[in-house]
Amino acid sequence: MNMPAESSPFAFPKLDGSNYTSWKEDMKVVLMDRGCWSFIVEDNPCPEQATEKEKFEYDWRKQRCYTTIYQGIERKFLPLIRYTTDGKEAWNILKTNFEPTSKARLAVLIDEFFELKFNPVEETIGIFCKRVDEKKTQVKEAGFEIPELLIALQLIRRLPAEYDHLVQTLYRLKDEEFNHLEVEKQLVNEAGRIQLKQKDLNLDYTEDAYTVGSFRLQETRKKSSKRSGAVLDPSRNPGQYRKIHYPKGMGPSCEFCSRKGHDASKCYKKRNKEKKQTFLSETTFCGTNQAFGVSTDCNHFLIDTAATSHFCYERDWFKNFKELKTTKALLADKKSTCEVEGIGNIDFIVQDIKGNVDLNLIHKRLCHVNIPLIKDMCKNKSVKGLEKVNIKIDNESCIACNVGKATRTSLKKNYVYKRVTKSVLDKVHMDLWGPAPVNSLGGSKYFLSIIDDFSRKIDVFTLKSKSEVFSIFKEYLSSVQRELGRKLKSVRTDNGLEFCHKDFETFLRNLGIKIERTSFYTPELNGIAERFNRSSMEAVRTMLQDSGLQPRFWAEALHAYVHTKNRCSHKLTEGKTPMEIWSGHKPSIRHCRAFGSLAYVYVPTVNRNKLQPKAKIGILVGYAVNRRGYRVWLPKERKVVESIHVKIDETKNGVKTLFGKVKHYDYAIYQLDQNLNNDSDYRAQDEKSSSPEKPSSLDISTWIRLEKPRTKSKRIDVYYYPPSKERLRSINDVKIYCQKNKLEFDPNQFNFKPTKAKTRFEEKSECHNETSSDSVDEASFVNDIFQNEIYMTEIPKTFKETQISPDKEKWNEAMSEEIKLMQNRKVWDLVEPKSNMKVLGCRWVYNIKHDEKNNVKKYKSRLVAQGFKQRPGVDFTDVFAPLVNFDIIKFLFVLLVCILGWNHCQIDVKGAYLYGNLDIPIYMQQPEGFVLKGCEHYVYRLQKSIYGLHQSGRQWNLELCEILFGLGFHQNDLCNGLYTKSNCILLVYVDDIVVFSKSQSDLENSILNIKIKLEITELGPVRYLLGVNFERIGDSVYLHQNTYINKLKTRFKNLPRRRITLPLKVGCILPDRVKENEIIETELMRQIPYKTLIGCLSFIANRSRPDIAFAVNTMSQFCNGYTYHHWTIVVDILNYVFNTMYYKINLSDTHNTRLTMYSDSSWGCKLNDRHSTSGYIMLFGNVPITWKSQKQKCIALSLMEAEFIALTESVKCIIWYSKILKELNLID
C-alpha cells in the first residue's frame, strides 16, 4: 500500500557542507510539519496494543523521517547515511560531521576570511564582495560573528592601486557610516567609473568616410606641440618629447626675425608672409578607412594615422625646420636607429582628391535604387550625404539587382508621362497590392500605396484586409491636409471594390474631391501607382535576396524602400527629391544604412543588471516610424525593436554573421498564383516576347499534375511541363500544345497521379534536414524566423505525423503507455471478425499537458473510437452523466477552505473511461502502429468503455458512483457531482476530483481508500483546476486565469494590441445583425475566427471575470451574422482582458457568511428584435460566486416586466445555493 507522495519541493537549499546551521533549522521545521520530529528528539516505540492501522501509520511516519533527511542533502553526502534507515541515527551522523562547533574549524574559517583578496583579472568587484559576504556567513554559522568594522576593512585593505584614492576617502567616513554595505556601494560605483575610463582610452575615433584637402604632419601630440623648448629625447620611445628649461636670456633664437625666446615655427612675422607651397607628385594615405590618389610621379610618402611622428627624407618639403644635434630615433623593429637632423611641419596640398565612399554601398543604403539616379543626385546635390561618393563605378556586379529586377524585353515605344499638376495634393494616385504569398511579421497581406502626383512623395500602409482601405485613407487625408494646410483636389484609382463602394464615393463627394477611375481592364491608365507597385516589389525582392531574410520581412523591406525612395530625386522633379518638394527642406541620407546589416542595439540600464551585456545583436530591417531611430530584428527575442541607440556594421551581413550563411529563397518550379484565370493571357504575352527552346519530343515522365483547392471545395488540376515551363488546365490543352509544338501525344501513356500535399511535419522535417549540419543557432533561427508562426511545440493530428515529428520518441512512449494501460485494464479481447459484424474505426488523439505555469508537463496520447458511427438504440441507449458546476467548486472552496479552514487535495483518475463496463458488444479495429503481426485481420471486442463512445461518460460515472457508495459517500440530490461523508466532501468533474476534509489524517485516509479502487495521481492542494488558477498569496487565496490568458496571447499573437480600459464603450452602438448571405465581404469574414474568440472569452467570463460577462454576451449574439465592426469590438474585449490580467478574485474576503444577490435588467436594448437583457451576481460574504448576463427569451412589454423576469432568474439561483448550504449543515 503506497502512501501519498510529496508533491512540493523543499523551499530551502540542500545540505552542501557549508550551510549546516541554517539547514538544521529548516529541516527541523519540515520534520515537525510532517509529524516526524518526535523520532529525532526521543525514542517512542509503537504501543503493543495499537491497531494495524496505527502500526502502519507509525512505521510510515518513521520511514518518512529518514526519507525526508535523505532528500534534503546533496548526493555527494548520501554515503554517510546510506547504511542506516533510522532517521535519528542519520541526524546524529550529519551532526557529527558538519556541526561547526570546534575551535579548529573556526580558526580555519577566520584565516580564510582574512586571506580574501580582490583579483581584477578573474573577477569583478561585485563578485569579490559576494565572496566576502559568503565567508562571513560561514564564520557566523561556526559560532562567531565578525564585527562590522572588520568586514568593511577586509573589503578595502587589499585593493589594487587604482582604488587608493577611494580607500582614503572611505577611511575618513564617520563610524556610523563606515559599514560593509556602504563600502560595497562605493566600490561598485568606482569599478564602473574605472571600467568606463579604460573603455574611453581604448576607443578608436575613426570616421566611416571623410575627405582631406591638406594633412598636417605634427611633430608632437597636441599638448606637447604647444610647448616651447620641447625636443626629441633619444632615451625615450620614438615620438616622445621632454621639456628643456633654459636660463633667463638664453634659449633658442628665431631664424626668421633673429629674436630669442621662440623658434621660427612660433614667429608671428613669418606667419604673415606668403607660405611656400610644395607640390607633391603623388601622395598615398594609408589609413583605416581612407585612400587618396592623384597624378603619378616618382615620389611616395606613406602616412600612418596611428603614429604621432613620421620620417621624411626631403629637406625642402618642410614648412619650418629646427635642427637637432646628436639625436637618434629608434625604428619600428626596436633594434635599428637612424640619425635625426631636425623636426618640423609639412603641409600637403592635394588637388583633384576623390572621396572613398563606395557607390555600391550607397546603392545598398538606398535600397538598391538604380545607379544613374544616384549619379544624378550627386551632380545636382539633391540630398545631404552624397558629397564624398566616387561615381566612377557602377553596379553591374550587384547580383541581387540582377535576380530581383529581371524583366522581359519591352516591345513598346518609350512613353514619357507629362505632369499637369502644379502643386502638392492636386492629385494623388492610389492602388492596392496583394494578397502577398506570405503574411508579414504583423500579419498583413496587402499594402495601399498613395502617391502625390506633383512631388511624387509615396506613402504606403500595410493592411490585413481590403476592408481597411477606407479607414486608412481617411486617416491619411486628415493627416496630410493638416500638415500642409491644403485640400486634396483629385484621386485616381482603379475599379477595385475597395475603392468603388458607396461609402468611399459619398465621402469623397461630400469633401468635393474629384474621383478619377481607369477604364476597365486598362491598368496602365493608373500607371504611376502600378509602376510603383512593380518597382517596390522589385526592390523588396532584391533587398530580401541580398540580406538573406525570409519573405515574411517583405513589409519591413517595403517601408525601408519607401523611406529612401522619398529621398531620391525623380526625373520629373528637376533634380529635387519628393521630400524637398513636399516639405520645402532638403533631406539628408546620412542616416541611411544597408538593409540587413548587422546591428547592435543598446539596452537601457533599467532593462539589465550590472553583469549583463549592454547591447543586443540584431539585423537592421528599416527605420523607425514617427520617431528618430532604426528598426532592428532581434532573432533570439523574435521581435522588432525601434531605437536610436544603434551601432550598425554595414560590412557584415546580419544573417550570415549570426547564423553562418545566407539562405536564399527561390520559387518552386511549379508554384502557382492564387488566381489562375489570367494564366492564358500571360502565357500568350510570354510567347510573343520570348521564344523558349522547344523540345523535339515529349518526355512523358516530366509532366506533373498539380492540385490546388478552391474555397468552394472544388479543385483546379494543372498539368505542368518543366522543360518549357508550361502549365495547362486540362488534358485537351495538353493535346493542343503537343500538336502545336509537333510533339507526340499518347493519352494512354500519361500517368497523372495527384501530388500528395505535404503535412506540416514533412515540411518542418525538410527544413530540419536542411539545417541539421549547421549550428544550433542557425536551426533555431530557421525555426524562429523562417516559419509562418513563432516556433511552438506542434501537436500532430495523425499517427503518420508523429513518426516524422521531432518529438517522435515522446509520442511513441505516450502511445505505448496508453496501450499498456488498456491491456492492464483488460479493455478488449482479440477476436476474428464475422461477416455481419459492425466494426468501428479508431484513431489516435494527441495533446500536451501543461502545469499552472504553462510548462510542459507530459505528452498525452489517447486512443479514441469513431463513435459517430454508432446507432442510437442499437449500440447505445442512455448517455447522461452528471458533473459538478464550477460555481459550486468556488462556493465550497470559499466555505470549506477560506472560512472553515479544511484541508483539500486534487486528484486525477488515470484513464477514467476505461473503468466503465459495456453491456452492449462493440467491435473496433486495431489501432494504427500497434497491429499484431499474424493477426492483421482480427478486431477488438470491447469489454470496457473507451474514449469516443457515446455511452463512455455514463458508464464511468456509474462505476464511480458504485465505488464511492461502497466507501460510505452519499450523493447530493441537488448537485449530483457532490458526494458527502462525515468530515469529508468530494466534488467530481469527469476524472478530476477535489477532496475536502476537516483533518489531514481523514483526508489522507479518504485518498488512500480511493487509491485502492482506482489508479489516481495526487496533485496536492488545488492550484490549477479546469483552466482556473487558485493562487495562495500569504493567508489569502486568489482566483484568476492567467495561465489560460497567456495561451490566448500566443494563439492570437497576430491581432492588434491596444490600450483598452473598458470592455465595451459606454453608448456603443452596434450594427444590426446581418444575415450570412448578405455580408459584403463573405469570404473575408469567414476567415476571421469570430466564433472561436467568442468561445474563449465566454470561458473566461463564466469562470473568473464578471466584468466582461455583459460585453461577451452582447457580442455572442452576432455569431451568425457579424461584420468587421463586430470583430473589432471583440478584439477590444480581448485586449481589455490582456491589459487587466492582474485582476483576481479574493476568495478569502469573507467577513460574513451571508448570501447576497443583485439583479438588474436592460429593457428593450436590442434594437433589431426589442429583447431585453437580464443580469445578476451572487456574493458569498464579499466573494462573487456566480453571475450571468443573458438575453431574455421573451419580449418584455414594460421595464417592470423586464425587471421581474431578471429577478425571477436570480431568486431561483439563490434558493438553490441556500438549499445546498442548508443540507451541508456546516454553518448557521
Mean pLDDT of 789-816: 76
pLDDT of residue 730: 66
Before 435, cis peptide (omega within 30)? yes
What span, in angstroms and rounded, lies between the C-alpha atoms of 258 and 274? 19
1212: nearest Cα among 1173, 1159, 1170, 1167: 1159
Q: List pLDDT tens digits, range 1144-1153.
A: 888 888 877 8
pLDDT at position 687 over 60: no
90, 56 contact by CB (below 8 A):
no
Q: Which residue, 755, 691, 685, 746, is CA-closest to 718?
A: 755
Residues in a beta bridge with 985: 980, 996
Q: Are residues 516 and 639 in the same domain?
A: no
Write down the pLDDT at residue 266. 64
Statement to judge: residues 1086 and 988 lie in one domain: no
Interval 72-101 mean pLDDT: 82
DSSP state of 923: E
User: So what's the pLDDT on residue 211?
Assistant: 33
Same domain, 516 and 579: yes
- pLDDT above 50: residue 5: no
pLDDT at res. 370: 77
Among candidate residues 98, 116, 147, the one where a domain is terminated: 98
What is the pLDDT averaged over residues 1196-1203?
A: 83
More confident residue, 793 or 1139: 1139
pLDDT, tens digit, 9 for 90 and up, residues 550-561: 889 999 999 999
C-alpha cell at 597: 546589416
Residue-averaged pLDDT of the chain: 76
State whether the Cα torsion 907-913-915-917 is positive or negative.
Answer: positive
Q: Is-contact 850 792, C-beta < 8 A?
A: no
217 lies in some domain: no
Containing domain of residue 497, as a range? 421-587
Examine residue 510 and state whether it is found in any structural domain, yes or no. yes
**For 161, what's the count of Cα atoms within 13 Å in the CB-facing half-sphere?**
0
Residue 1103, in any domain of the structure: yes
Share of the chain above pLDDT 70, in %: 74
pLDDT of residue 289 exceeding 60: no
Q: Is residue 1075 part of a domain?
A: yes
Mean pLDDT of 424-445: 90
Could you read off the pLDDT of 936-959 as tens digits, one per residue?
Answer: 888 888 888 888 888 888 888 888
Q: Kindly report, residue by residue over 960-972, the tens digit of the pLDDT.
A: 888 888 888 888 8
For residue 615, CA distances in Å to 248, 607, 649 come to 58, 11, 14
d(CA 832, CA 939): 6
Written as one letter, the residue type at 321 is F
Are both 648 and 716 inside the same structural domain?
no
Q: 3-class SS at 428?
A: strand
When mean pLDDT is compared across 733-737, 761-765, 1049-1053, the lowest value belongs to 761-765
The least confident of 70-84, 198-212, 272-286, 1119-1133 is: 272-286
Q: How far apart, in whole angstroms, are the C-alpha atoms of residue 430 and residue 561?
A: 18
Residues 582 and 600 in one domain: no
**Contact criterion met (CB below 8 Å) for 837 and 961:** no
Do 718 and 839 belong to one domain? no
Least-confidence region, from 31-35, 103-107, 806-810 = 103-107
* pLDDT range class, residue 446, cuts 50, 70, 90: very high
Of the segments 456-470, 725-739, 1208-1222, which one has the largest average pLDDT value? Answer: 456-470
Residues 50-59 have a mean pLDDT of 86
Band of residue 207 on the pLDDT scale cut at 50, 70, 90: very low
What's the rounded mean pLDDT across residues 296-314? 65
Handedness of CA 650, 651, 653, 659 (dihedral sign): negative
Q: Which of 996, 1026, 1056 is the last residue of a domain?
A: 1026
Q: What is the pLDDT of residues 1053-1094, one digit of tens each?
A: 878 888 888 888 776 666 655 544 444 444 556 677 888 888
Note whether 154 and 69 are same-domain residues.
no
Cell triple for 1108: 466582461
| Paired residues of 602 in beta bridges | 615
Secondary structure (H, E, C), 219-257: CCCHHHHCCCCEEECCCCCCCCEEECCCCCCCCCECCCC
557 inside domain: yes
Give the model's pLDDT for residue 729: 60
pLDDT band for 727, please (50, 70, 90 cuts): low
Model pLDDT for residues 1029-1051, shown as the tens digit of each residue? 888 888 888 899 888 888 888 88
Q: How confident is the model at residue 450 (pLDDT cuts 50, 70, 90)?
A: very high
What gap in Å lies between CA 71 and CA 398, rounded to an integer? 66
Q: Are 652 and 546 in contact (CB under 8 A)?
A: no
Identify which of 989, 898, 1028 has the alpha carbon closest to the alpha carbon of residue 979.
989
DSSP 182-216: HHHHHHHHHHHHHHHHHHHHH-----SS---S--B
In this predicted structure, what is the pLDDT of residue 1201? 84
Confidence at 927, pLDDT banded by 50, 70, 90: confident
What are phi and psi for residue 113, nearest 5 degrees? -65, -45
Q: Are residues 108 and 92 in the same domain?
A: no
Cβ-contact 1034, 1148 below 8 angstroms: no
Alpha helix segments (H runs only) across 1143-1228 = 1199-1224
Q: Pick from 948, 688, 726: which is nearest to 843 by CA? A: 948
What are the pLDDT digits (tens) for 1089-1139?
Answer: 888 888 999 999 988 899 988 889 888 888 877 777 888 888 889 989 988
574-621 pLDDT, tens digit each: 778 999 999 888 888 888 999 999 999 999 988 888 888 999 999 999
- The set of cell numbers assigned to 707 is 492540385
**Domain edge (last residue) among 141, 170, 197:** 197
Let me know whether 119 and 52 are in one domain.
no
Residue 139 has pLDDT above 50, yes or no: yes
Highest-confidence segment of 245-259, 429-443, 878-892: 429-443
Contact 1172, 1161 (CB under 8 A): yes
C-alpha 846 chain-centroid distance: 25
Question: Pairing state of beta strands 1173-1180 and 1183-1191?
Answer: antiparallel
Other beta carbons within 10 angstroms of residue 435's beta carbon come to 15
CA distance 1138 to 64: 45
C-alpha cell at 189: 560605483
Q: Is 920 helix (H, G, I), strand (E, B) or coil?
A: strand
**How far is residue 805 from each of residues 763, 774, 801, 808, 1050, measured CA to CA in Å?**
10, 19, 6, 5, 21
Residue pair 456/578 in contact by the 8 Å Cβ criterion? yes
List pLDDT tens digits, range 855-875.
787 888 888 888 888 888 777
Alpha-carbon torsion, ordered 463, 468, 469, 474, to 10 deg: -120
Which residue type sits at 476? Y
Q: Could you tell me the pLDDT band of residue 775, with boundaries at 50, 70 and 90?
A: very low
pLDDT at 725: 54
pLDDT confidence tier of residue 782, bands split at 50, 70 and 90: very low
**Using a CB cutoff of 8 Å and minimum separation of 24, what contacts does 205-210 make?**
206/287, 206/288, 206/289, 206/305, 207/289, 208/289, 209/289, 209/290, 209/355, 209/356, 209/357, 209/388, 210/290, 210/388
Q: Is residue 1038 within 8 Å of 1146, Cβ to Cβ? A: yes
What average pLDDT does the segment 513-536 reach? 86
**1208 in any annotated domain:** yes
Residue listed under C-alpha cell 464511492: 964
Range from 288-292, 540-544, 648-652, 795-799 carrying the lowest mean pLDDT: 288-292
Beta-bridge mates of residue 1028:
1025
Q: What distance in Å separates the CA atoms of residue 896 and residue 912, rounded to the nearest whole number?
A: 27
74 plus 137 within the same structural domain = no
- Separation between Cα atoms, residue 235 and residue 1194, nearest integer Å: 108
Q: What's the confidence (pLDDT) of residue 307? A: 65
CB atoms within 10 A of CB 816: 13
Report pLDDT for 388: 64
327 belongs to a structural domain: no
Q: So what's the pLDDT on residue 1160?
A: 86
Region 822-848: mean pLDDT is 86
Determine contact, residues 458/535, Cβ cutoff 8 Å: no
Domain total in the chain: 7
Which pLDDT belongs to residue 122?
77
Q: Is residue 1035 within 8 Å of residue 1148, measured between CB atoms?
A: yes
| Domain membership flag for residue 885 | yes
Q: Are residues 878 and 1005 in the same domain?
A: yes
**Which of 269-283, 755-769, 886-900 is the most confident on average?**
886-900
Element (H, E) at 131: helix 125-141
pLDDT at 1065: 79
Percent of the chain with pLDDT over 90: 9
Using left for φ > 0, alpha for ψ between -120 and 50, and beta otherwise, residue 563 falls in: alpha
Mean pLDDT of 697-723: 46
Residue 149 has pLDDT above 80, yes or no: yes
Greatest CA separation for the chain: 132
Burial 975-1011 (b: 16+ CB within 10 A, else e): bbbbbbeeebbbbbbbbbbbbbbbeeebbbebbebbb
Same domain flag for 463 and 552: yes
Q: What is the pLDDT of residue 623?
A: 93
- The tens digit of pLDDT for each residue in 376-422 reads 777 777 787 776 666 655 545 677 777 777 766 554 544 445 667 88
Measure Cα distances from 1192 to 1114, 1200, 1205 in Å: 12, 14, 8
**In contact, 631 and 622? CB cutoff 8 Å:** yes
Instruction: List the CATH number of the domain containing 710.
Output: 3.30.890.10
- Residue 32's pLDDT is 87
- The Cα 1169–Cα 1195 span in angstroms is 8
Q: Please tell me which residue, 767 or 828, carries the higher pLDDT value.
A: 828
Angle at 599 between CA 597 and CA 602, to 5 degrees: 165
Model confidence pLDDT, tens digit, residues 464-473: 988 899 999 9
Q: The domain that contains 514 carries what CATH number?
A: 3.30.420.10
pLDDT of residue 360: 75
Determine the average pLDDT of the residues in 769-792: 33
- Return d(Cα 865, Cα 844) in angstroms, integer: 9
Extract the C-alpha cell encoding 21.
546551521
Span 241-288, pLDDT tens digits: 444 444 445 556 676 676 666 766 667 666 654 443 333 333 333 333
What pLDDT, on a 0 to 100 scale, did the predictor assign at position 490? 92
Task: Write down the pLDDT at residue 698.
Answer: 37
Which of the four pLDDT bands, split at 50, 70 and 90, describes residue 101? low
